[in-house]
Structure 1
Amino acid sequence: MAGINPFVVDVSGGNLVLVIVVALIALGALAMAWMFRQEVLAAGEGTDNMKNIAQAVQEGANAYLQRQFRTLGIFAAIAFFLLLALPADDAAVRIGRSIFFLVGAGFSATVGYLGMSLAVKANLRVAAAAETEGRDPAMNIGFRTGAMVGMLTVGLGLFGASVVVMLFKDHAPHVLEGFGFGAALLAMFMRVGGGIFTKAADVGADLVGKVENNIPEDDPRNAATIADNVGDNVGDCAGMAADLFESYAVTLVAALILGSQAFGDKGLVYPLLIPAIGALTAVAGVYLCKPRPGENGLTTINRAFYISAGIAAVASVVLSFVYLPGSFADFTNVTGTDMGGASGSPRLIASTAVVIGIVMAAGILALTGYFTGTEYRPVKDVGKTSLTGAATVILSGLSVGFESAVYTTLVIGAAVFGAFLLGGATLTVSLFAVALAGCGLLTTVGVIVAMDTFGPVSDNAQGIAEMSGDVSEHGAQILTELDAVGNTTKAITKGIAIATAVLAATALFGSYSTSVGEALAKANPARDEYALLNFNVFNPAVLVGMLLGSAVVFLFSGLAINAVGRAAGAVVFEVRRQFREIPGIMEGTGRPEYGKVVDIVTKDSLRELVTPGLLAVLAPVAVGFGLGVTALAGFLGGAISTGTLMAVFLANSGGAWDNAKKLVEDGNHGGKGSEAHAATVIGDTVGDPFKDTAGPAINPLIKVMNLVSLLIASAVVSMGVGKDQNDTLRIVIAIVAVAIIAVAVYISKQREVAIGSDDDAVPAAPVPVADPAGETRERAFVPDAGPATPVDPVEDPDATRQFQPPAH
């Protein structure tokens, strides 16, 4: 790093024009998002039954997100003022960082909310199209819905970053820290809250409905079905959309911070150009997603991904050779930045790093598809174990998760280390190459988000079809196929989201080390022992930090899974009570109280998201101020490494259990209603909080902790060794942070496991699937002509009844 002046950059002339072009491409992506939205809304909505069910789901999802945003607004306001208090180069940077923190949080919320709002309108359109038009139109509607969210993600991420670069130029990296932090913090809260909501409802519905009463998954006699469908939207649509947006934003932030250090002004522009190419190729990928006759839906979607990724790779290489100089010596002439003896070709380093990121995305797509797809051996083996009971299903699923975590981590590690080696002996260039690998992965985000959103939309479409009873056997089979495809695409996108998180966190880790080095040089330049940071792994401070970072990942995962267990227990008691006390539910003459279940999971999810959020933000503060910058470096390293393995393990084991259940439901090993089916349902309920709550939430967790560490680095150094050294204040800050975490965890652990009396502990007696006529119920949901009646959660703070679904 010697000789590098990190922020001697001048974004003007041709470079400024290019940034403006990127902003225009971002606006074009937003226009495409609007166009895809209009295409979806133009499709037919189906029968009145379908409309009324979908309306109930829409109202429940809107009510939940309104309450969630009210809660998160408090955290955002506190973080805004804390960012204002942190040191910065000047007042304009400090204010800009805080303002763009709110912009990043707002964009993350916007992506989540708009994605959810279209998904809850698309689900009944997919169901209607499957019945009246066939598989291909239904699949097209689902994928167009995802494409809208994908283009919104790309457009807002690029637009926010390019505006910061245009406004703040050489100070843009510092301001972008706030932008990325806002996106990551809100996404983490939405991921945890939405994940608890959706999986508590799902687990509760499955245990009482499928296992105890032997009724179908989306049977309207189950009071948790509406909450389950609402959860798909607030968790898998709103939560995952926000998660992928913050991955996009934070990767850009890391690349721009390191790019300005490595390549001067071109390093501040080049990372914007690569995702801009991705925005264009994503449109191509969406339009290329057209099924061929007799082709599996997953094959169609994968082909669109691979073609768009290939186009992006070629275009990125061409851009690198056109835009970047041929050698590092040329940077001195072009930018005035001394590259400190860096060697090699910037064109070759940058283009190879980007291609590494794209290839890694393709590799993870294939690897995750293998471990979670119904057509491959791992899931088939899990399905076979259902013949010997739930215990062996759980054991085999855990085995799949553990094994797949190793291979996925090897792929990610190879990509990170391969990109790092490209920089040779120059650390800053090597770290920038890692960030560029992340930018390469960003070129696929538009299609990846489309793949992810396709999952919950197809899942909800199947639920609406089953609840309404207005879809024929042929249409139901189409929706079952699309649902299975959606399960796999969700698992794949979780794997790629994890890879994005690791690349972004690694790049941010590099930014942290350089920021600490600069802060040490400013704080006390006379002390030579601080010239080189002692981040050696055998340093006890680093080792202790690594242990603490790993421990936070475990604690965070445990809190999230335990929260789902508590809320699901409450759902189980409530659904049992309704089966027992409300006459005529199983005969279809009584209507379950759906709103009560929605209220239970809403309250629990919003209450439970606070503790994991405080842990993510305050743990780095406690370690940094309490143990110093060296221990904090180890903390980040431990969190990244353990978080990678844990996230992949949780996501893939859960995905394998889910698709093993689908395999049995398709008629294998005894089919629905068999003991094997009950065993896979139990495995799936274990896997639900793994794959949809704790696993995906680890992605924003490690990025939030890295961003918090980056933001506090200079303050930690200044209080520890600089002219503002104040050991007393430093220790007080650490103790307060630890105390807040301890109190939050203690309060969380004191909550009741479930809501109910001792009498509720006795499960309702199993009721046969058949109705009095001797036929399986398919039309249990017979709604009123009138619409659902929402209750504004703002006017009703207790929200004891957020909405009233249509009556029988």
Structure 2
Amino acid sequence: MSRHILAEGLTLSSSDQTIVGVVAVVALIALAIGFWLRKEVLAAGQGTERMQDIGRAVQEGASAYLNRQFKTLGVFVVIVFLLLFALPADTMSERVGRSIFFVVGAVFSATIGYLGMSLATRANIRVASAAREESGGREKAMRVAFRTGGAVGMFTVGLGLFGAALVVLVYAGGAPKVLEGFGFGAALLAMFMRVGGGIFTKAADVGGDLVGKVEAGIPEDDPRNAATIADNVGDNVGDCAGMAADLFESYAVMLVAALILGSAAFGLQGLLFPLIVPAIGVITAVLGVYITRAKPGEGGLKAINRSFYISAVFSAVLCIAAAYLYLPGSFGELGNPTDAEVVTQAGSLDPRLFASVAVLIGIVLAGIILWLTGYFTGTEHKPVKDVGDSALTGAATVVLAGIAIGFESAVYTALVISAAVFGAFVLGGVSVTVALFAVALAGTGLLTTVGVIVAMDTFGPVADNAQGIAEMSGDVTGPGVEVLTELDAVGNTTKAITKGIAIATAVLAATALFGSYRDAITNAIKAAGQAAGELPRSFGFEVFTPSTLVGVIIGASVVFMFSGLAINAVSRAAGAIVFEVRKQFREEPGIMAGTVRPDYGRVVDICTKDSLRELATPGLLAIFAPIAVGFGLGVGPLAGYLAGAIACGTLMAIFLANSGGAWDNGKKLIEDGVHGGKGTDAHAATVIGDTVGDPFKDTAGPAINPLIKVMNLVSVLIAPAVVTLSIGSSASTPVRLAIAAVAVIIIVAAVVVSKRRSTSIADSPAEASVS
């Protein structure tokens, strides 16, 4: 895959420019539909004055947090912009474009997160209000919640597709290099937003549950608990803003991989076809959002799943039609594939059939993961019922049952993802480039469902917030309470499903990006005029090479360290919340009597400060670990590092997400009346399981998805510099090792500072107990 040849050889004809222009227009139409859906959601009733007061408090807290977070992350964006500009590129135009579109990707990711948060914090009171209606309240509440997610989904696909189309339109054959910057900006911001938002939401949730439900024996969203507003704020900055940005970067990075590999494998048509497929996804998303409605007596999850499957089938048909209309019937009729390996090895490949099957693999993968994750986290299936039954023997067995479900489900999901990757790879025959393009096309096939996936994900926190506002205000009674409880349980499952699909996109994108990594190394070696037989041993990619195996182990270890840092951060922040809520209960007896309003703002402020302070260490680890391995050990061990991170990250992310989802819905089962319902020992046991699962499913687990892609893109970007310093003069060795040493020092310093932080904010031992 010769990117320097791409930059010089591929130009867009007037008809090609028309195709890309149409894709850009489709992207703009997606944005317009998103704003139309937003307008429809905001037209719904806002409920009582008390509900609106609570809603405003949540809106203000979420906006204040994101504004402070963006100011903090602005420093990172500026630093990385300058570093990217310093890295070599084939032309100055590509270097400038890569840096500029890094900022564009970061801004788009932040915009998606902010739009998602802004709408979700306004939709929650409208869902709660709709549930109060005596006739059709359930159907209306579900429609408002899902169309809120639909609006965010349309923003996601619109901005992602528009950004990629703009790069191709401006840079043509040089687009792949520039797109690396676009994808990196999206992934980096998403990772920080996912980690920071996850720490915020779970600190408030865990701390509030431990003091409120376990110690004080009051309901989950009781207004006497000072952590309730922060918990609702956290749902929006973590599950809405963070996850929306996460899915946007999945969209962007998958397109980056597909366009890089497509241009090398199929020439200009390979550069454009991966844009056509997600453009079809816009139609899919609109269909999926508008046909989602629960029939009388039908479960909400069944209605959502039905819409997903219908839209996926529709997408598959359109993608096959596009392949047969746009691509030629034989490889020889393709315009100008730029990889010599492809030209000699492709043989009798039929591009139309190849592309159709590859895209179908991705769509089918999304459907299987939806079913598989739903089985392990849905309240109507055996695994979650087993968690509920385990509550009869205490919290320990609840925790063990959830861990077992996470381990088992991770195996099945990982095998399904592996089968999809291998199946796509086999399509390419003997050509590695074409095989990797098939994997990337499978990813774009999965992307056609992203609009519906984002809708499913946002549905969860909106329903959760609606239930919280209903309980805090006391203005929703009777059937309305049951409606919101059902939607909250459905939302727990849809959130778990979207996390599973997001990690699948991470694996597909990372596998495809291996091709880009290989390309970067090959080009750098050629530029240095070095013969393959003269390369250092650190260039060996064989897994049985000890240096490569060391890289695999380090890559897997980084996933464990990253997860541990994220969960520890939640533990420390939640400890601070516990002390604060206890202090308020102790110093102001009127709070428990219901005559004095708790200081909600104090808890929001603690969560904000702690989450912004804690997100730096995981972020620095993700950026500097591949730099340390690459410059310190070489490109071969760095390839092993990526393999270890992808393999371990896949299993870890699924394990954490599904364990947490099973614990959460196990608690919902008990609260719905199973084994005695609320207030029983069984309920207390599942609350403990849920608090353990909170940082699993909403902080560490989903953050691994952008982590994998950030590390892949960092590796792709630094590969040429690593090669240049590795095979240059002996004088370059100290420079290479010095860079690695600085990266290691930064990681160690960040971890040490993080570990020294205390959980307690108490002034005295007496502060840590309730009088």
Q: 1:701 is matched with which residue? A: 707
Q: Once the two structures are superposed, what CA deviation does each residue of 1:723-760 show, in whole Å capped at 9, x if it has no partner? A: 79711111100000000000000000000122113434
Q: 2:472 is matched with which residue? A: 467
| Distance (Å, rounded) in 1 between the aligned partners of 2:547 and 2:461 | 44
Q: 1:78 is matched with which residue? A: 79
Unaligned runs of 5+ in 1: 766-808
2:479 maps to a residue whose letter is H
Q: 1:560 is matched with which residue? A: 566
In the alignment, does 2:242 pair up with 1:239?
yes
Q: 2:678 is matched with which residue? A: 672
Q: 1:731 is matched with which residue? A: 737
| Distance (Å, rounded) in 2 between the aligned partners of 1:11 and 1:680 | 59
Three-state SS of the structure 2 residue aligned to 1:754 is coil
| Distance (Å, rounded) in 2 between the aligned partners of 1:336 and 1:470 | 65
Q: 1:165 is matched with which residue? A: 168
1:274 maps to a residue whose letter is V
Three-state SS of the structure 1 residue aligned to 2:308 is helix
Three-state SS of the structure 2 residue aligned to 1:585 is helix
| Distance (Å, rounded) in 1 between the aligned partners of 2:376 and 2:180 | 36
| Distance (Å, rounded) in 2 between the aligned partners of 1:456 and 1:179 | 28
Q: 2:607 is matched with which residue? A: 601
Q: 1:155 is matched with which residue? A: 158
Q: 2:216 is matched with which residue? A: 213
Q: Rate the CA distance shift 1:211–1:3 in 2: closer, same or farther, 3 A.
A: closer
Q: How does 1:309-458 map to 2 (within 5 A)?
A: 309-331=312-334, 339-343=343-347, 344-458=349-463
Root-mean-square deviation (Å): 1.7
Unaligned runs of 5+ in 2: none
Q: How does 1:748-787 map to 2 (within 5 A)?
A: 748-760=754-766, 762-764=768-770
Q: 1:783 is matched with which residue? A: none
Q: 1:228 is matched with which residue? A: 231
| Distance (Å, rounded) in 1 between the aligned partners of 2:440 and 2:729 | 33
TM-score, normalising length from structure 1? 0.93
Task: Give the alignment partner of residue 304 of structure 2, picking from 301, 304, 311.
Answer: 301
2:309 maps to a residue whose letter is Y
Q: 1:716 is matched with which residue? A: 722
Q: 1:545 is matched with which residue? A: 551
Q: How does 1:568-579 map to 2 (within 5 A)?
A: 568-579=574-585
Per the TM alignment, residue 702 of structure 1 is displaced from its structure 2 partner at its CA by 0.5
| Distance (Å, rounded) in 2 between the aligned partners of 1:280 and 1:731 | 51
| Distance (Å, rounded) in 2 between the aligned partners of 1:426 and 1:326 | 18
Check whether the contact 1:353–1:434 (CA below 8 A) recurs between aligned residues. yes
Q: 2:204 is matched with which residue? A: 201
1:575 maps to a residue whose letter is V
Per the TM alignment, residue 670 of structure 1 is displaced from its structure 2 partner at its CA by 1.4
Three-state SS of the structure 2 residue aligned to 1:291 is coil
Task: Give the alignment partner of residue 611 of structure 1, picking from 617, 622, 625.
Answer: 617
Q: Rate the CA distance shift 1:703–1:674 in 2: closer, same or farther, 3 A.
A: same
More helix by share: 2
Per the TM alignment, residue 762 of structure 1 is displaced from its structure 2 partner at its CA by 5.0
Check whether the contact 1:505–1:703 (CA below 8 A) recurs between aligned residues. yes
Q: 2:501 is matched with which residue? A: 496
| Distance (Å, rounded) in 1 between the aligned partners of 2:224 and 2:175 | 56
Q: Once the two structures are superposed, what CA deviation does each residue of 1:216-273 show, in whole Å capped at 9, x if it has no partner? A: 0000000100000000000000000000000000000010011111010011100000
Task: Give the alignment partner of residue 524 of structure 2, picking from 519, 523, 533.
Answer: 519
Per the TM alignment, residue 514 of structure 1 is displaced from its structure 2 partner at its CA by 1.8
| Distance (Å, rounded) in 1 between the aligned partners of 2:281 and 2:204 | 36
| Distance (Å, rounded) in 1 between the aligned partners of 2:202 and 2:501 | 21
| Distance (Å, rounded) in 1 between the aligned partners of 2:54 and 2:339 | 64
Task: Give the alignment partner of residue 249 of structure 1, picking from 249, 252, 255.
Answer: 252
Check whether the contact 1:521–1:531 (CA below 8 A) recurs between aligned residues. no
TM-score, normalising length from structure 2? 0.97
| Distance (Å, rounded) in 2 between the aligned partners of 1:332 and 1:577 | 71
Q: 1:621 is matched with which residue? A: 627
Q: Once the two structures are superposed, what CA deviation does each residue of 1:461-484 show, in whole Å capped at 9, x if it has no partner? A: 000000001111211111111111
In the alignment, does 2:181 pair up with 1:178?
yes
Q: Rate the CA distance shift 1:240–1:333 in 2: closer, same or farther, 3 A.
A: closer
Larger deviation, residues 338-347 vs 623-632: 338-347
| Distance (Å, rounded) in 2 between the aligned partners of 1:378 and 1:519 | 51
| Distance (Å, rounded) in 2 between the aligned partners of 1:170 and 1:704 | 24
Q: Percent identity?
A: 68
| Distance (Å, rounded) in 2 between the aligned partners of 1:335 and 1:758 | 69
Q: 2:118 is matched with which residue? A: 117
| Distance (Å, rounded) in 1 between the aligned partners of 2:520 and 2:726 | 15
Per the TM alignment, residue 12 of structure 1 is displaced from its structure 2 partner at its CA by 1.8
| Distance (Å, rounded) in 1 between the aligned partners of 2:93 and 2:730 | 22
Q: Once the two structures are superposed, what CA deviation does each residue of 1:2-58 show, in whole Å capped at 9, x if it has no partner? A: 999655322223222111110000000000000000000100100000000000000
Q: 1:769 is matched with which residue? A: none
1:720 maps to a residue whose letter is S
Q: 1:144 is matched with which residue? A: 147
Q: Once the two structures are superposed, what CA deviation does each residue of 1:90-128 show, in whole Å capped at 9, x if it has no partner? A: 111111100000000000000000110000000000000
1:656 maps to a residue whose letter is A
Q: 1:657 is matched with which residue? A: 663
| Distance (Å, rounded) in 1 between the aligned partners of 2:137 and 2:336 | 61
2:398 maps to a residue whose letter is V
Per the TM alignment, residue 347 of structure 1 is displaced from its structure 2 partner at its CA by 1.2
Q: 2:53 is matched with which residue? A: 52
Q: 1:800 is matched with which residue? A: none
1:105 maps to a residue whose letter is A
Q: How many residue pairs end up in the alignment?
A: 765
| Distance (Å, rounded) in 1 between the aligned partners of 2:428 and 2:729 | 35
| Distance (Å, rounded) in 2 between the aligned partners of 1:723 and 1:445 | 48
1:182 maps to a residue whose letter is G
Three-state SS of the structure 1 residue aligned to 2:543 is coil
In the alignment, does 2:195 pair up with 1:192?
yes
| Distance (Å, rounded) in 2 between the aligned partners of 1:643 and 1:365 | 19
Three-state SS of the structure 2 residue aligned to 1:586 is helix
Q: Which runs of 4+ in 1 moved over 4 A?
A: 1-7, 332-338, 529-533
Q: Once the two structures are superposed, what CA deviation does each residue of 1:674-732 show, in whole Å capped at 9, x if it has no partner? A: 00000000000000000000000000001000000000110110111147971111110
In the alignment, does 2:647 pair up with 1:641?
yes
Three-state SS of the structure 2 residue aligned to 1:339 is helix
Check whether the contact 1:718–1:724 (CA below 8 A) recurs between aligned residues. no
